């Protein structure tokens, strides 16, 4: 596989890679809020048999002088101590366990903080909705202005602001931002642009996420900018059918998380995302990490995990889905690297 690396732009210093990703792909993330406070409401149920306390927290932000708020769920183990925790950027609100097996996560000693991306701004081309409506109050979208992925990433960072106020029960040395597919792209961007996340996990994020674009199968910039142009900044469209002209590729996103740790999960039948292109990205980003990608130079086989380095990869059987198996692999990666080094 490594012979393919020669066709990729070489890694650059982190800030230069981030500048390219901001100006050419995702747009610049919104500024941090001028004011921010959190309102918490503890839920009587569920407690998972007394194992966790769940709350709905509302983040009240002032952005560009205007009020903006969004809710998120917290599920924190009742066991004494500080807990490692996931900031899960989710497709669904609240306690829905599709894509998010909360009890199992708690049983593994982790807390979960999760929000529904549509509560920040809707997953469509309407830039008058939610946070987008505040940023684009005059209706103009400049070439480097944020797309929706950048806004969802910003929201994950606000959840991290909350976590910092809970340092008595959350272990800030083990915050993992994670998501599936479009929200895996978002999780990588959230971690790349915020060093408070010691870990990131992308599940099957594919095109414009963890997959190298050059030479991939399945989705390309031309597809994604036709179907989901609003996920990105306007500049990204210039690379439709011109991917070889991109002065970057997706290993810049993953390498921008270094020296922190990141895991990438693929599903063998998810050819639209392209598992091999995601594995190639791990090779391409490897040298940015203190302990690089620990994987032989060949495509992964189904069921394999390569978790020895600070950039990890697993390939499972099946289709596009954030499965329990992915969560188990993710927790295995974290347990391998958390407090062990
Ligand atoms: C697909 C899109 C992918 C991926 C996926 C998802 O339709 O083409 O890039 O993000 O949606 O988010 O489920």
Question: Which residue out of 206, 216, 217, 321 has the highest number of ligand 1 atoms within 8 Å of its CB and is therefore the one to mutate?
Answer: 206
Distance 50 CA to ligand 1 centre (A): 37
Q: Indicate whether 98 pLDDT > 90.
A: no
Phi, psi (rounded to 5 degrees) for 67: -80, 135
Given a cut of 50, is residue 340 above it in pLDDT? no
Q: What residue owns the CA closest to ligand 1's atom 13?
A: 181
Q: How far is the CA of 10 from the centre of ligand 1 (A)?
A: 27
Residue 200 has pLDDT above 80, yes or no: yes
Q: How far apart are the first and last CA of the chain?
A: 29
- Runs of H (alpha helix) within 28-173: 102-107, 130-135, 148-164
- Using one digit for the tens of pLDDT, what is the confidence trace for 26-72? 999 999 999 999 999 999 888 999 999 999 999 999 999 999 999 99
**pLDDT tens by residue, 263-310:** 999 999 999 999 999 999 999 999 999 999 999 999 999 999 999 999
Atom of ligand 1 nearest to the CA of 185: 10
Measured in angstroms, how far is the CA atom of residue 181 from the centroid of ligand 1? 6
The SS3 call for residue 84 is strand
pLDDT score of 93: 86
Residue 341 has pLDDT above 60, yes or no: no
- The mean pLDDT value for 79-101 works out to 91
Structure confidence by residue, pLDDT tens digits, 114-124: 999 999 999 99
DSSP letter string, 3-68: GGGGGSPPP--HHHHHHHHIIIII-PPPPPPSEEEEEEEEESS--TTTTEEEEEEEEEEEETTEEE
The answer to whether the beta carbons of residues 320 and 278 sit under 8 Å apart is no
| Probe residue for ligand 1, chosen from 272, 277, 319 as the CB with the greatest number of ligand atoms within 8 Å | 272
**Dist. CA 86–CA 175, nearest whole Å:** 6
Q: Which residues neighbour 16 within 8 Å (Cβ) at sequence distance 6 or greater?
A: none
pLDDT value for 179? 98
pLDDT at 137: 82
- Residue 140, Cβ neighbours under 10 Å: how many? 8
Q: Which of 117, 181, 265, 321 to mutate to test the pocket of ligand 1 (most atoms within 8 A of CB)?
A: 181
| pLDDT reading at 97 higher than 90 | no
- With beta carbons less than 8 A apart as the criterion, state whether 62 and 35 touch: yes
Q: What spacing in Å lies between the alpha carbon of 225 and ligand 1's midpoint?
A: 12
pLDDT tens sequence across 160-194: 999 999 999 999 999 999 999 999 999 999 999 99
**Dihedral of the alpha carbons of 255, 222, 183, 195, in degrees to the nearest 10:** 30
Q: Which numbered atom of ligand 1 lies nearest the CA of 183?
A: 12
Is the whole-model pTM more than 0.95? Answer: yes
Q: Taking CB atoms and a 6 Å cutoff, what residues make up the pocket around ligand 1?
A: 181-182, 206-207, 219, 224
Question: What is the number of other CB atoms lying within 10 angstroms of the CB of residue 288?
Answer: 23
**Peptide bond connecting 259 to the previous residue in cis, omega within 30 degrees of 0:** yes
pLDDT at site 262: 98
Please name every residue paired with 111 in a beta bridge, in sequence order, or none if there are none: 85
Gap from CA of 291 to ligand 1 centroid (Å)? 30
Give the span between the Cα atoms of 243 and 124, in whole angstroms: 24
pLDDT tens track for 239-271: 999 999 999 999 999 999 999 999 999 999 999
Q: How far is the CA of 129 from the centre of ligand 1 (A)?
A: 21
Q: How many whole angstroms from 182 Cα to the centroid of ligand 1? A: 5
- Range list of β-strands (E), the chain: 35-43, 52-63, 66-77, 83-90, 111-116, 170-180, 199-203, 261-267, 305-306, 311-316
**How many angstroms separate the CA atoms of 9 and 303, rounded?**
30
Q: Output the CA torsion sign for 199, 175, 318, 222.
A: negative
Counting atoms of ligand 1 from 1, which one is nearest the CA of 207?
Answer: 9
138 has pLDDT over 90: no
Output the residue whose Cα is nearest ligand 1's atom 10. 182
- Own/partner contacts of 220-224, CB < 8 Å, gap of 24 or more, are 221/246
95 — pLDDT class (breaks 50, 70, 90):
confident
Nearest ligand 1 atom to alpha carbon 223: 8
């Amino acid at each position: 596989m490594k012979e393919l690396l020669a066709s990729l732009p070489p890694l650059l210093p982190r800030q230069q890679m981030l500048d390219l990703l901001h100006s050419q792909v995702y747009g610049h993330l919104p500024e941090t809020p001028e004011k921010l406070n959190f309102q918490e409401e503890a839920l009587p149920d569920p407690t998972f048999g007394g194992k966790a306390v769940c709350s709905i927290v509302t983040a009240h932000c002032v952005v560009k002088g205007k009020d903006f708020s969004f809710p998120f769920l917290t599920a924190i183990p009742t066991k004494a101590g500080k807990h490692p925790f996931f900031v899960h950027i989710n497709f669904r609100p609240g306690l829905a366990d599709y894509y998010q097996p909360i009890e199992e996560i708690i049983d593994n000693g982790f807390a979960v903080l999760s929000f529904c991306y549509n509560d920040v701004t809707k997953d469509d081309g309407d830039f008058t909705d939610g946070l987008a409506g505040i940023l684009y109050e005059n209706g103009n979208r400049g070439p480097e202005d944020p797309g929706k992925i950048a806004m969802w990433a910003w929201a994950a960072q606000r959840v991290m602001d909350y976590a910092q106020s809970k340092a008595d029960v959350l272990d800030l040395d083990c915050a993992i931002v994670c998501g599936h597919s479009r929200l895996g792209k978002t999780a990588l961007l959230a971690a790349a642009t915020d060093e408070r996340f010691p870990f990131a996990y992308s599940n099957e994020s594919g095109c414009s996420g963890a997959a190298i674009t050059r030479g991939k199968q399945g989705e390309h910039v031309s597809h994604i900018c036709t179907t989901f142009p609003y996920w990105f900044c306007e500049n990204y469209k210039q690379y439709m059918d011109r991917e070889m002209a991109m002065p970057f590729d997706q290993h810049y996103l993953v390498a921008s998380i270094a020296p922190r740790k990141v895991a990438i999960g693929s599903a063998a039948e998810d050819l639209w995302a392209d598992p091999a292109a995601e594995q190639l990205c791990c090779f391409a980003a490897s040298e940015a990490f203190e302990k690089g990608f620990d994987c032989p130079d060949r495509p992964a086989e189904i069921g394999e995990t390569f978790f020895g380095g600070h950039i990890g990869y697993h390939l499972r059987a099946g289709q596009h889905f954030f499965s329990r198996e992915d969560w188990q692999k993710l927790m295995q990666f974290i347990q391998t690297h958390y407090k062990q080094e």
